[in-house]
Amino acid sequence: MSELATRSSRAVSRLKRLDRGAVSAENALLTVGTITFGGLLLKIITDGEVRNQILTLVLAIIKLIFSHFGLL
């Protein structure tokens, strides 16, 4: 194997190792972001005032759909 091929092979191996670290870091950030978003949704849903506003919105949408089709 020529010296150039050996150096290229080492460089590729080094980049692959660095890439594995990047993938791990990306997965960690994705996990933290997902947990944070889930916690935020949980807080929104368990808050009484927000829950009532969401329920009012959903009921208004259902009423609008039913009235559109003449079911109310």
pLDDT beyond 60 at 36: yes
- CA quadruple 65, 66, 70, 72: dihedral positive or negative? negative
Q: What is the dihedral of CA 6, 11, 12, 13, to 10 degrees?
A: 90
Q: What is the DSSP string of 48-71?
A: HHHHHHHHHHHHHHHHHHHHHTT-
Average pLDDT in the 58-67 region? 93
* Spatial separation of the C-alpha atoms in residues 11 and 62, rounded to whole Å: 60
- Between these two residues, 62 and 70, which has the higher pLDDT value? 62
- Tokens linked to 11: 């460089």
Residue 16 has pLDDT above 80, yes or no: no
In this structure, what token pair is assigned to residue 49? 């005032």
pLDDT band of residue 8 (cuts 50, 70, 90) is low
Q: Is the pLDDT of residue 4 over 90?
A: no
Judged against a pLDDT cut of 60, whether residue 48 lies above it is answered with yes
